[in-house]
Structure 1
């Protein structure tokens, strides 16, 4: 049984994880600063423009007290402002807490208060929401647009170490009470490079950004393409949640990787896919819900040349921890698995005594490896319950998914 576990968990990959995101992004900027890094509607930013804007804002954040393990709350719609904020915070060596500004004000206040974040980085068009938060909690506020084009581009920004906090995502969990999952640079980058290697993401790719800022998948959608010279294509809610408009945008914007939930897959197939080839789309990445065989069959009937990459993972473990490639139409009654461990992660199915169950016996999914996060922000009791010492003698901790 132990030998079988070792075989199934053989997921070691060598990624440049000694560097932080800021340093790896800087390498791409140096290669071609004029290359388009991101677009949103008619607006776009080159690598050089994004780098300069983020560097100026990073200096302001540092002067305001940001730095290692300091949490900066981001208040912005999903657009190029939010992307610039994320890069700026990482350049400052700090961590970000992205908010979905469409969530109720009471929930946003609860999250920010629980986080203890001392700084708000705010887009001008979200000033009202930010003022309500800052006034209620007495937070320092920095308005993005007042700084991103002002002054010289600073050099020598600190960046971060692999074990430094990169971001916090608040998840409601099973109780409905928000919990702040802490993810470090090491886990974040390992997840991104895992996807890059598995799906051969490169400088020719356009990665669609469709997820809410409150979801962990927003992070990889925003930032992964920037590690390889690719392009982040931010699709606003009016497009991302409209099947017909989403398909139109995927074709018009040259999107090559699109992630969505299976229920939206069904809507895409039923809502105007006839006549569309999605010629440049290389992968559709289902997530967040169980993927059925019938839906997979229907996808390949309509788009036989576009494979699926079924993924699963909790925010507590830097996003996806398993994936399963589907390259052809599955059999009618075959179950669609969530797959094998992602690079540098390990999966265990354990019983109540935290011992491996035999093959075919139900158990709890527990995750080990580089993706396992730091725990829950300001919640040592919940952290101790979910992040446990490795019961099988392996390195690091296991996360109990429940």
Structure 2
């Protein structure tokens, strides 16, 4: 296949974006409100080094367990060596800086090593989950322009993964082959903080997924934001529960590695069974778990009557991907008072979460819980669109659309300038390194408590089990069938019997 070249060449530059149209005086007013109500939060962070540098530093200082899955455990030294062997395999296959490399299969310790290997070479990571159908794998690898797919599975291989790669014309490498290579000896190829680090595909209204590209500085800023707000230390053990195609999987597999902590990879069989998940959390000493609220509800339901001390070592439960109901938060605070509950919100396009909120008993008086305040180096603005198409700042209590600026804002959609221009704008409000504002499509308002409250979507996007779905994408796919003249998709909510 013809090599697509560096991903940066297929990204719209800042000069190709329109400046968000605002009436005179409104940029200044938006900034004034953001500063007054702490919707902007600046902090100097050490984000110059890639994650692999931290891993190798910990390996040299005090080698200890870094990542484990159901099959094996790797120390920091073993993780670094495996990453360098995989880097040697990828370079031998011709992977160059700036190119996209697919990583396919089940989540495992090998996926973590693969991400670090791709980081070493200065390439971009794009995941292809083993549960995806072949058509989804094909679309993601084709649109990403992946030059290779690294298959991380050791046992039974996914037929859909292999078929999708073949349809995309993407050569498949096996991670197992890396054991035959000497570790790559080069220095990490990080040339600038705005270097693209990974691409994740989200639902698109045209029937084609959108590949959101995140920069090194946005990814590292988000990792450190989690460290700061969760008060993480090297004693923490984080569960990686998210599917590879879900943006939270990135921080789940990398964040503890900054500190000398440990990542415990939880497979689907355990992750989808609340009782087994709770048992695993206790047995492996896991201190931080992140789940969609639907799974939090199942966990509480199935732990009714569980032995005293269950989840006793858990410090944080993070709810993300769906709106966290007040009633569910009340149940958690009453049932698991030893583990704080964090409500997290953020779009893939902005390096994952942009707000955090630690739920308190005082919040339970609200009909809808706050999504919180900005993470470090994120700027949040609540704006309303006027009749002439310009945007103006919303005062406290007014409903508007959330815009995000700051280090966290990504580069747009890979090879998709039209959809990039529809969601990303040059920032007229503040001078930030990214220079971009992201239009979230989420309706919010600023509460007197100084926190944001999520009120729903302004478009037809919904979330099902934490996964973003565009109803228009489903309609577009249905209408491709020759027997379908027209299609309309609606969401029907129901509570399954248990």
Provide the TM-score with structure 1 as the length reference: 0.95
- Do the aligned partners of 2:357 and 2:371 also contact (CA within 8 Å) in 1? yes
Provide the TM-score with structure 2 as the length reference: 0.77
Asked if 1:188 corresponds to 2:188, the answer is no
Asked if 1:399 corresponds to 2:431, the answer is no
- Do the aligned partners of 2:139 and 2:168 also contact (CA within 8 Å) in 1? no
**2:345 counterpart residue number:** 312
Q: What secondary structure sits across from 2:211 in the alignment? A: strand
Counterpart Cα distance in 2 of 1:276 and 1:104: 42
**1:14 counterpart residue number:** 44
Q: What secondary structure sits across from 2:370 in the alignment? A: coil
**1:78 counterpart residue number:** 107
Distance 1:356 1:333, change over 3 A: closer
**1:363 counterpart residue number:** 400
**2:281 counterpart residue number:** 250
**2:239 counterpart residue number:** 208
Distance 1:49 1:173, change over 3 A: same
Q: What secondary structure sits across from 2:269 in the alignment? A: helix
Counterpart Cα distance in 2 of 1:371 and 1:84: 24
Distance 1:91 1:276, change over 3 A: farther
Counterpart Cα distance in 2 of 1:335 and 1:109: 40
Q: What secondary structure sits across from 2:129 in the alignment? A: coil
Q: 1:24 aligns with which of 54, 58, 71?
A: 54
- Do the aligned partners of 1:68 and 1:164 also contact (CA within 8 Å) in 2? no
**1:47 counterpart residue number:** 76
Distance 1:131 1:333, change over 3 A: closer
Q: 1:156 Cα shift? A: 2.0
Q: 2:200 aligns with which of 169, 175, 188?
A: 169
Counterpart Cα distance in 2 of 1:329 and 1:361: 22
Q: What secondary structure sits across from 1:27 in the alignment? A: helix
Q: What secondary structure sits across from 2:371 in the alignment? A: coil
**1:271 counterpart residue number:** 302
Task: Select between 19-28 and 316-325 the one with higher mean Cα deviation.
Answer: 19-28
Distance 1:354 1:27, change over 3 A: farther
**1:122 counterpart residue number:** 151
Counterpart Cα distance in 2 of 1:176 and 1:299: 38
Distance 1:70 1:127, change over 3 A: same
Q: What secondary structure sits across from 1:323 in the alignment? A: strand
**2:136 counterpart residue number:** 107
Distance 1:375 1:333, change over 3 A: closer
- Do the aligned partners of 1:76 and 1:99 also contact (CA within 8 Å) in 2? yes
- Do the aligned partners of 1:304 and 1:328 also contact (CA within 8 Å) in 2? no
Q: 1:169 Cα shift? A: 0.4
Q: 1:377 aligns with which of 414, 435, 440?
A: 414
The ranges of structure 1 where at least 4 consecutive aligned residues each deviate by more than 6 angstroms after the TM superposition are: none
Counterpart Cα distance in 2 of 1:329 and 1:350: 27
Q: RMSD of the TM alignment (CA)?
A: 1.8
Asked if 1:239 corresponds to 2:270, the answer is yes
| Max Rg structure | 2
Q: What secondary structure sits across from 2:225 in the alignment? A: helix
Asked if 1:157 corresponds to 2:187, the answer is yes
- Gapped runs of 5+ residues in structure 1? none
Instruction: Please list the CA deviations of residues 21-53 of structure 1 after superposition, one character each: whole Å capped at 9, or x if unmatched.
Output: 2222222222222x1111112421111111101
Q: 1:62 Cα shift? A: 2.1
Counterpart Cα distance in 1 of 2:373 and 2:40: 9
- Do the aligned partners of 2:138 and 2:165 also contact (CA within 8 Å) in 1? no
Q: 1:391 Cα shift? A: 3.3
- Do the aligned partners of 1:208 and 1:259 also contact (CA within 8 Å) in 2? yes
**2:425 counterpart residue number:** 388
